[in-house]
Chain A
Amino acid sequence: MNKEHNGLSKFIFMFVFLLLITYSVIIIYPLLWMIISGFKTNQELFLEPWGLPAKLLWSNYKSAWDVGVGKFFVNSLFVTSVSVTVTLFISACCAFPLSRYEFKGQNIFLLIIIGGMMLAPQVSLISLYKLLQRLKIYNTYWALIIPYIAFRIPFTTFLIRSYMLSLPREIEDSAYIDGCTSWRLFWNIILPMCKPIMATSALLAAMSVWNEFMFALVFIEDSTLRTIPVGIMNLRSTLSTNWTILLAALTISALPMIILFIVFQKQFVRGITQGGVKG
């Protein structure tokens, strides 16, 4: 490579690198602004939207928590953990025969389960609302948990099944010779081997349930049962122009997922790239 060429490609590299950095700033800055502004007084925010707070006002975070975020947080924690646990269990049970058994109509069952991935929750909003009322669970935690489980099963089953298909079968064969029942084969032998994909599925399910908005808006009426996304939406009107407390509330709501993502990035990436479905 001659020198001139080298200089040129260095220049291009620097230019592209600068663009990438600029884009990073566009992503990070609003998030940083959210966190920092949560420590400011309202006046500081007005006068100097860019500036740093004179002193860190932890009381904003405290007020946000007390004014409702604490309650919503606990609700979200409950709804998310129940939904994720049940989804994982049911999906793993379903993936087991779909990856191991040979029976007539297997493909039809597979299609019914996986086909659910193609159907948008928006389409079912009206009829689910009515169905949940008829089942007498409208405006309870179950009005969220049950639809969340149903809409997570297709993708979770898909993920776990692909993983099970890739597992070696020798161990099961010897277990079978030892007279293992199908349940013990599943529970004691196959499931423990599926830990990595279970972790990935749990993270993705937790993320989608924690962030879900539309069902939470329509299927819950009682403000004490609200999960975080709808809860903070209502806080906006309660807090009216108390911007900095609202920003503190937003930070509290976003942090669990940001932390989970940074810690378990590898698991997130694996799941998302296998499924390629959004939201």
Chain B
Amino acid sequence: MNIYRNKKVAILFMLPALVFVILFIYYPIIQNFIYSLYRWSSFSEVKVFVGFDYYKRLLSDPIFYIALKNNALYAIISIVFQVGVGMILAAVLEEKIMRRYQTFFRTVYFMPSVISITVVGLLFQLVYNPNIGLLNAFLKVVGLETLTHDWLGRSDTAMFAIIATSQWQYIGYIMLLFLVAIQKIPEELYESAMIDGANAIQKFIHVTIPQIKETILVTSIITIIGAFKVFDEVYVMTAGGPGRSTEVLASYMYRAGFRNDEMGYAATIATVIFLITFIVTLIQLKVSKEKNEA
């Protein structure tokens, strides 16, 4: 239709979206990089050009490495639980014998991911609370009193306690993505595997996994990116403490910018978050492109 060839009208339709996206998503990213080259504080107009000094400082900053390590830990544990357990749960719920109950389990498992991280974080602060918390109370009931612990108050367990909360919240989310992927696998593949005498586990390894490779990749990437930009959970539950033991990149950025008023340094940390998430995204695009061409 000729009406669909009018480029001016097309651009007019897209204009509001373009303005929003360019002004409030792309421009701030570039601006952030420029900000990282200056020393400045939030309430003064003075900016001193320092070049890449903040990047050099970051590379020799021990807190930066603590944060990086915590983000990496977050990513690894989340891949095991969200992608690994999520995938297995989805496969189990798609077994013929379980399908009758699927809606119930799906609803329950997914539910935590619609709740705000603040609510979940504050709730788990109470669950982990050494005095009134459910976790210690549970451990006492089952006779594991020696394991009771101030989970968020001790630097050796705090990071794991936060990560565990995140798994509780998001396994069901990733599971849902796998459920849909598994539902798309043609039934014939399972039927011929059955004829070959495969049991449920063999079917899972030889039919299901190869068919959902793409979803495994995508969910792993989502999980890694999520782990490297995590902020809310940490800020709500420990704000980086005790000490600096649960600091992650985003919480360190927040502390540098809004607590220590070193906006340039905060922008430097933001650039690192950008680089990491961007590189991971590029890897995903490249891998899925190669797959499509193959």
Residues of A within 8 A of B (CB): 13, 16-17, 20, 23-24, 26-31, 33-34, 45-46, 49-50, 90-91, 93-94, 96-98, 100-104, 106, 109, 112-113, 116, 118-120, 122-131, 146-147, 149-151, 153-154, 157, 172-173, 176, 182, 185-186, 207, 210-211, 213-214, 217-218, 228-230, 232-233, 236, 243, 246-247, 250, 253-254, 257-258, 260-262, 265, 268-269, 272-273, 276-279
Contact = CB atoms under 8 A, between A and B. Distances in A.
Contacts of A279: 226
Interface string B69-105: 0000000000000000000010011000110010001
Contacts of A150: 20-21, 23-25
Contacts of B137: 49-50
Contact of A232 (B1, B118, B131): B118
A100 B3 CA distance: 10
A103 B14 CA distance: 13
Contacts of B218: 276
A50 B132 CA distance: 10
A260 B6 CA distance: 41
21 contacts: A23-B89, A24-B109, A27-B168, A31-B112, A46-B131, A97-B9, A109-B14, A112-B21, A118-B278, A123-B270, A124-B25, A127-B267, A130-B31, A130-B263, A182-B3, A233-B236, A247-B123, A250-B122, A253-B119, A278-B226, A279-B226
B50 interface: no
Nearest to A177: B1
Contact of B123 (A34, A106, A119): A34
B107 A26 contact: no
A258 B115 contact: yes
Nearest to A149: B20
Nearest to B271: A123
Nearest to A148: B24
Contact of B270 (A97, A122, A247): A122
A183 to B, nearest CB: 9
Contact of A125 (B1, B5, B122, B254): B254
A233 B122 contact: yes
A23 B173 contact: no
A278 B123 contact: no
Contacts of B253: 122, 125-126
Contacts of B222: 276-278
B29 A119 contact: yes
Contacts of A186: 13
A29 B29 CA distance: 42
Contacts of A214: 231-232, 235, 250, 254
B271 A46 contact: no
B170 A124 contact: no
Contacts of A213: 116-118, 231-232, 235-236
Contacts of B3: 176, 182, 185
A258 B111 contact: yes
Interface residues of B, number: 90
B63 interface: no
B247 to A, nearest CB: 14
Contact of A94 (B13, B114, B250, B258): B13
Nearest to B1: A176
Contacts of B98: 16-17, 20
B266 interface: yes
Contacts of A229: 116-119, 232
Contact of A273 (B31, B168, B176): B176
Interface in B1-32: 1, 3-7, 9-11, 13-14, 16-18, 20-29, 31-32
Contacts of A90: 16-17, 20
B109 A104 contact: no
Contacts of B223: 278
B294 to A, nearest CB: 21
Contacts of B16: 90, 93-94
| A-B complex: 8 closest residue pairs judged by Cβ atoms | A211-B116, A150-B24, A94-B17, A97-B10, A124-B28, A229-B118, A127-B28, A127-B31
Given A103-B10, A217-B235, A254-B119, A243 B126 contact: yes
Chain B CB within 10 Å, residue with most, of A30, A34, A257: A30
A116 B111 contact: no
Nearest to B25: A116
Contacts of A100: 4
Contacts of B126: 243, 246-247
Contacts of A250: 119, 122-123
Nearest to A212: B116
A126 B116 contact: no
B229 interface: yes
Chain B CB within 10 Å, residue with most, of A17, A103, A127, A129: A127
Nearest to A232: B118
B242 interface: no
Nearest to A119: B25
Contacts of B1: 172-173, 176
A127 B14 contact: no
B5 A102 contact: yes
Contacts of A94: 13-14, 16-18
